Structure 1
Amino acid sequence: MAKKLRSRRTTATLSAVAVAAAALTAAGTADEHRTPRVQDMTLEEKVGQLFVTYAYGASADAPHPKNREEFGVDTPAEVVSKYHLGGIIHFTWTDSLDNPRQVAELSNGLQRAATSSGARVPLLIGTDQEQGQVTRLPEPATRFPGNMALGAGRSPADAERAAAITGQEMRAMGLNQDFAPSGDVNVNPANPVIGVRSFSSDPQLAARLTAAQVHGYEDSAPPGATVSAAVKHFPGHGDTNQDSHTSLPVIEHDRQQWEQLDAPPFREAIKAGTDAVMSAHIVVPKLDASAGEPSTLSPKVLTGMLRDELGFRGVVFTDSLKMEGVRRKHPDAEIPVLALQAGADVLLMPNDLRTAIDGVIGAVRSGRLSEQRIDESVQRILALKSGRGVLANPFVDVSAVDRIVGAPEHLTAAQRITDRTTTLLRNDDHALPWTHRPASVLVTGAGDEAVGALADRVKARGPRTQPLATGLRPTQQQIAQAADAAGRADVTVVLTNAAWQADNSAQRDLVNALRRTGKPVVAVAVRDPYDAGCAEAPAWLATYSDQPVAMESLAKVLFGEISPAGELPVPVPDPSRPGQDRYPFGHGLGW
C-alpha cells in the first residue's frame, strides 16, 4: 500500500518534502553526532521527557501572559527549558496556529530551546489534525472531510493518501506527531464525542482504514518527512452516550464484544506499525474489575491488553489529563503516577504541570515508582523520536513551507477524494440532480461558513443564490425568515448539523417549515448522517463534513456533475421504530 502511494506522488512534491526534511535553518542546527542517552539524564530531565503539554504564543521567544499564569515563566521557549519537556501540543486557543510559516518558525524556536537546555533532546511537536470535525492547522493547509467521509468512500488508498498529505504538510511546519487517527468504532449513534471522527460502525471497515492511515502518516516518505500516528482511544470509545471531557463514561462491552467490535482497528494499526496509541478515559468494568478506574489508569487495560495481548511495543500516550474522565477520582499529583503504573509512557496535558511533575518525582524518591520504570518510558520516547528522524534533524526549512503546505497537487487530490464520499440517501421523484438549472436557490441552515461556502459554489454555477445561516438552534423568528425566503426561491438547500440531538431539535423544525412552503427542499447532513432519520425531506444527502472541500463535492452532486458515490458507513436509525433503521449500513443512491 505504501509503495503504491509513493509511486503516485509527484516528483515536485517529493523534492519539496526532501528539502524540508534535509534543511537546517540559520535559526539553529542539531548536533547529529550526539545521541541522547537515558543514563546521561538527571531524574528531572527524564521525568520531563514524559510530559507533553501546550504553551501560549505564536513565537517561541515572545512573552504571553497565560504562560506566566500557568507555568511561572513568560515564553513558550522558557516553558520547554524549565520543565525539560518531551513535547508540545498546539491548539488554536493557545494562539499557536496562525499561518504555516509562523508555525514552522515557532517549531524551530521550540526545538532550539529544547536542544540548548537540559538533556538537549528535541521535542515531539504535535496537534490533533484528524481532519473534518477536528481540524487544527491553519489554511492554506490542505483540508479533508474527515474519517466518516472516508468510510463512506470505502477506499483504503484514499484514506492513506489523505493521511500522507496531512503528515507531509505537518512535517513541513515542524510538527512530527499527529494525534490521529481515531480507531474508535462508532456503534452508538448517540455518541456525543466520537461520531464522524470514526470511520465506521463496522469494525472491519474501520480497521482497514485505520491501518491505511497509519501507513499514510508514517510510510509515505522518508522518516524525516513523515509524522508519528497515535491511534486513539484505546480500548475503544465508540459505544458511549457520554463525553469523557466532562464525565466518566462506562462502556458495558464484555470480552467477546470487545474482541469483535472495538479491538480490530487497534490490532490492525499495531500490525501496520503505529508509533503510538492513545488511551481512553472510560470505564469498561467487564474488561477490568478494578474499582471504576478509567482505562488510562488501568494496568489491566494498558499493560495486560494493549502490551501483553496485542503486542504493542511503541509509545502509549494518555489522553488529556485535564479531562474530567480521568480527574474524577484522584488528585492531580496522583494521576500521572497511576498512569505510569498502568503502563502509559507520555502524560498529555496535566491540569497543573508543576504538580504533575513533582508527583512523579516524589513517587520515584519514595519508591512507589522505580527509576527503571521511568527509564523504560524514556527509552520508548527516544526510540520514537529517533525512528521518525526527530533526533537527527529537528529543524525545518521555513522557505520550503509555501511549496509544500497547500500545494496544488494536494488540493486536487483532496477534492478528488472528497468527490467519492458524498452519499445520497433519499431522492423522491428524482429531485436530484438539477437537470433543469434553477433560477434561484436559497442555502440555509446550520453553519455560517458551510452555508456561505455552498452558496458561493451554487452561485458560481449560475443561479441567483441567497445564503441565510440559521445556526445550530434557530429561533422561531429565524425559521419564519427562512421559510419566507424559501417561498420566493425555486429550490432550497438546508444544511443540518447534529439535528438528531435533543438540544438541536429546532433544526428539525426548520426542515419541516421549509417543506410546508410547497417548494422543493434538499436536506443535507453536514455532520452525522443520523439527521436523515429524524426529519422528512424529499431529498436527503450526507457529506459528513462542513469543510469547503465537502461543499464543493456537494455542489457537483446537486448539479449532476458527478454521481453521489458514497455508501453509508453507519446505519441511520429510525426514531419512530426503535431498533430499526431508516437507512441501513451500505445504503447509497446514485444515477
Structure 2
Amino acid sequence: MAATFGGTGPVRRSRTFALCAAAAVLTPLTACAGNTGGAAQTGEGPVASQTPGATPAGDQGAWIPDFVEGMTLEQKVGQVFVPTFRSRPDAEKIIRRYHVGGLIYFPGNARTPRRTAQMSNALQRASKIPLLLGVDEEQGPVTRLAYLTRFPGNMALGALARPEEARAAARVTGTELRAVGINQNYAPVADVNVNPANPVIGLRSFGSDPDLVSRMLVGALQGYRDAGVAATAKHFPGHGDTDTDSHTGLPVIKHSREEWERLDAPPFRAAVQHGVDAIMTAHIVMPGLDRSGDPATMSRTVLTGLLREGLGFQGVVVTDSLSMAGASAKYPAAQAAVRAFLAGADQLLMPPDLGRAQAAMMSAVRKGQISMKRLDESVTRILWLKARRGLFGDVQVDPARAEQVVRSAAHRAVARRVAEHSITLVRNRNGVLPLDARTTVHVTGPRSGVLTAALRKRGVPIAASPGAADVTVVTTLNDGKATKAKVAASGRGQVVVVALGRPYDLGHAGSADAALATYSSGAASLDALAGVLSGRVRPAGRLPVQVREFDFGHGLTY
C-alpha cells in the first residue's frame, strides 16, 4: 500500500532523517536501523525532513520518484498551487486543506524582517513538505517588501551593462529574502523591451537589445543562485513588445517566428543554458507562434513545444498570476488553471478561487483529462526544485539575524554604487554640467523636494523660483508629453531635464541644455543624481534602449 500523509496538523520532525530504501520515504533513522522488512508505519506517511544535513546521501533527488508514488492525489494536486494568503491562520488553513506546494507573500503579510521571518518559520512548520515561499521582488518599479535594500531596477542595471553588477544586486536581494525565509523569487525579468509605449514592462527590462538582456539576466540568475534562492525568468515567450497590460487585458504581440527567435528568445535560451530554476509564462497571444488564439499560458504549442522541446527547459514552469485579466480573457478561471497545466505549466500561481481551481484539477485527473503520469512529472519537478535549493535541510530562519542582514551597510553600499554608476547623461550643451559652485538652481517636477534637499546637502545654492535661478532642473516621471511644456515654462536660465522613470521621456527634452536618465525615482537614485549634478560623481551609464535621437549605448561623462 502506498504511504500517505494522513492527518491534518503539523508533524514534529525528528532531528535526523535518512532514506529508508525499502519504503522509499524519509523517516527517522531510529525507525530504519536494522530494518530489512520495510519502514515503520506511523500513520502520518512520508514527511519530508527540514533539518540540517538531512538531504539523503548521494544524489540529492534520487528519493523523489518513489516519494511521489507514495503521495495521495490531493497531495499531488496541492503541490502545483501557489496561492496568496491573508494571515498566518489563513495560510495554515490553506496548507491543511489543500496541501499546497507554496505560498506567495505580499506587503500585507510581510511588514518587517522579523515578522516575515517568524511567519515563514510558522508556515514551514505547518507543512509536511517544505514550502516554496515566493515573492515578486524585481526591485525598481515592482517591489513587495518595503524594508529590503532598495535598488533602482533592471533598466538601471542595463545602463551599467556589467553582468557582475546584476549578480551583485541579485545576491543582495536574494540574501535578504533568504534571511526572512523566502526561497523563491519571481524575478528577474527576461523581456526585451522594444516598445517604448509598453505599459507593463518598461523599466522592469534590462533594455532593448537581446544580447544585453541575456548577459545581464545570466548575471542576475547567478546572484540569486549564490544566495540560495530559486530564480524565475519571466515572461515567456516575451512581453517586451506590447501596448496592452496583461493585468487588465489580453495583449497580442505580432512577432513572426523569425522575429521571436531574434528578439524575444535569446534571454530565455541563455537562462535555460544557465540552468534557471523556473520560467514564468506570459498571458499574451503571439499568433506567429500559435494561431489558436490561446494565451501563451494556456498554449501547449508555446509551453511544451517551444519551451520544453525547443529550448530544452527541464525546470519548473510557473504561470503568471491566474488572477490577472489576461488569464481569464478566453477561459473561465478554473478552466484556465487546467488548461495551463495541460499546456505544460507546473506551478499554478494565485488562482482567484483556490477551491474551484483545485476541484477542477482533481476532476480533470479523475476523468483522465490529465494523466497521472503528467501530474507526477510536475510534482517531481517541484520537489526537485525544493531539493536543489536546499529546502530539505533546515529552513527555519533566525528572526534576529534577519534584522541584521536586511539593509546592512554592505548591502546599501552595493545599491548606492549601482545607482551612481547607472546615471546616464545624454546631452550637455556648453558644459552646463557639472554645476558651478556659484550656480543657483531651482528644481521643479516630481520628487523635486527630495532632489532639492540632496543638492543643498552638497552645497549647491538653491533658488526659490525659476526666475531667480541660473539653472532649472526639470524632473519628469513617465510623462513625456508634459516634458516639452515644462521645459518651455522653466524660466530664463539654462534647463536640465531628468527622466526619473522611463528614459523615453528624454525624447521630449526639446531645447533643454542637458538631459539625464536615472531609471528610478528612489532615494538612492536621487542622491546619486545630486552627486552627478554637483560634480561629486561622474556619470557612467549608457542608454540600454533607443530614445528618439539618442542611440542605444549613448552616454556622456565629464
The bucket for the TM-score relative to the shorter chain is: 0.7 to 0.9
- Confirm or deny: 8 A CA contact 1:445 1:507 kept in the other structure: no
Please list, as runs of the form range in 1=range in 2, the aligned pairs for 1:142-221 lying within 5 A after superposition: 142-218=149-225, 220=226
**Structure 1 range deviating more: 121-130 or 340-349:** 121-130
1:430 match: 431
2:489 match: 513
Q: What is the CA deviation profile of residues 400-433 of structure 1, one whole-angstrom value per residue up to 9, with x for unaligned ones?
A: 1122111111111221122211000111221110
Corresponding residue pairs, total: 499
Note the C-alpha offset of 1:508: 4.2
1:98 match: 111
2:553 match: 586
d(CA) in 1 for partners of 2:484 and 2:394?
53
Note the C-alpha offset of 1:490: 4.1
Please list, as runs of the form range in 1=range in 2, the aligned pairs for 1:359-374 lying within 5 A after superposition: 359-374=360-375
1:390 match: 391
- Which residue, 79, 82, 85 being the options, matches 1:52? 82
Q: What is the CA deviation profile of residues 493-538 of structure 1, one whole-angstrom value per residue up to 9, with x for unaligned ones?
A: 22211113xxxx3454333321xx1133221101111101123222
1:248 match: 250
1:320 match: 321
2:298 match: 297
Q: Secondary structure at the match of 2:333?
A: coil
Q: Secondary structure at the match of 2:309?
A: helix
- Confirm or deny: 8 A CA contact 1:512 1:535 kept in the other structure: no
Q: What amino acid is aligned across from residue 169 of structure 2 in structure 1?
A: A
d(CA) in 1 for partners of 2:445 and 2:100?
44
Please list, as runs of the form range in 1=range in 2, the aligned pairs for 1:253-268 lying within 5 A after superposition: 253-268=255-270
2:25 match: none
1:412 match: 413
Larger Rg: 2
Q: What is the CA deviation profile of residues 289-308 of structure 1, one whole-angstrom value per residue up to 9, with x for unaligned ones?
A: 22x10000011110011010
- Confirm or deny: 8 A CA contact 1:100 1:138 kept in the other structure: no
Note the C-alpha offset of 1:452: 3.8
Q: Secondary structure at the match of 2:255?
A: coil
**Structure 1 range deviating more: 157-166 or 32-41:** 32-41
Q: TM-score, normalized by length of structure 1?
A: 0.82
1:563 match: 538
- Confirm or deny: 8 A CA contact 2:192 2:207 kept in the other structure: yes
Q: Secondary structure at the match of 2:103?
A: strand
Note the C-alpha offset of 1:236: 0.6
- Aligned-pair identity in percent equals 50
Q: What amino acid is aligned across from residue 453 of structure 1 in structure 2?
A: V
2:525 match: 550
Q: What is the CA deviation profile of residues 180-220 of structure 1, one whole-angstrom value per residue up to 9, with x for unaligned ones?
A: 110000111111111111111110011001111111111x2
1:479 match: none
- Confirm or deny: 8 A CA contact 2:483 2:505 kept in the other structure: no
- Which residue, 438, 448, 452 being the options, matches 1:451? 448
Note the C-alpha offset of 1:436: 2.5
Q: Secondary structure at the match of 1:583?
A: coil
- Confirm or deny: 8 A CA contact 2:68 2:379 kept in the other structure: yes
d(CA) in 2 for partners of 1:512 and 1:384?
56
1:67 match: none
Q: CA RMSD in A?
A: 1.7
d(CA) in 1 for partners of 2:392 and 2:284?
34
d(CA) in 2 for partners of 1:111 and 1:288?
40
Q: What is the CA deviation profile of residues 326-371 of structure 1, one whole-angstrom value per residue up to 9, with x for unaligned ones?
A: 2011111211111111000000011111111111001111111112
Structure 1: runs of 5 or more not aligned = 1-28, 62-74, 115-119, 467-483, 574-581
Q: What amino acid is aligned across from residue 383 of structure 1 in structure 2?
A: W
Classify 1:85/1:453 alpha carbon distance in 2 versus 1 (closer, same or farther; 3 Å): farther
d(CA) in 1 for partners of 2:79 and 2:233?
20
2:347 match: 346
Q: What is the CA deviation profile of residues 233-278 of structure 1, one whole-angstrom value per residue up to 9, with x for unaligned ones?
A: 0011111111111111111111111111111100111111110000
- Confirm or deny: 8 A CA contact 2:424 2:555 kept in the other structure: yes
Note the C-alpha offset of 1:381: 0.3
Q: Secondary structure at the match of 2:305?
A: helix
Q: What is the CA deviation profile of residues 553-591 of structure 1, one whole-angstrom value per residue up to 9, with x for unaligned ones?
A: 111110111211111100002xxxxxxxx1111111111
Note the C-alpha offset of 1:464: 5.4
- Confirm or deny: 8 A CA contact 1:499 1:508 kept in the other structure: no
- Which residue, 278, 282, 286 being the options, matches 2:288? 286
Q: TM-score, normalized by length of structure 2?
A: 0.86
Q: Secondary structure at the match of 1:572?
A: coil
Please list, as runs of the form range in 1=range in 2, the aligned pairs for 1:34-49 lying within 5 A after superposition: 37-49=67-79
d(CA) in 1 for partners of 2:95 and 2:468?
59
Q: What amino acid is aligned across from residue 509 of structure 1 in structure 2?
A: A
- Confirm or deny: 8 A CA contact 2:171 2:224 kept in the other structure: yes
d(CA) in 2 for partners of 1:89 and 1:495?
35
d(CA) in 2 for partners of 1:368 and 1:49?
18
Note the C-alpha offset of 1:465: 4.7
Note the C-alpha offset of 1:279: 0.5
1:231 match: 233
Q: What amino acid is aligned across from residue 304 of structure 2 in structure 1?
A: T
**Structure 1 range deviating more: 158-167 or 484-493:** 484-493
2:101 match: 86
Q: What amino acid is aligned across from residue 213 of structure 1 in structure 2?
A: A
- Which residue, 108, 122, 128 being the options, matches 2:136? 128
d(CA) in 1 for partners of 2:237 and 2:387?
27
Q: Secondary structure at the match of 1:88?
A: strand
Q: Secondary structure at the match of 2:444?
A: strand
Q: What amino acid is aligned across from residue 55 of structure 1 in structure 2?
A: F
Which ranges of 4 or more aligned residues in structure 1 deviate by more than 6 Å? 33-36
- Confirm or deny: 8 A CA contact 2:437 2:460 kept in the other structure: no
Q: What amino acid is aligned across from residue 174 of structure 1 in structure 2?
A: G
Note the C-alpha offset of 1:48: 1.0
Q: What amino acid is aligned across from residue 280 of structure 2 in structure 1?
A: M
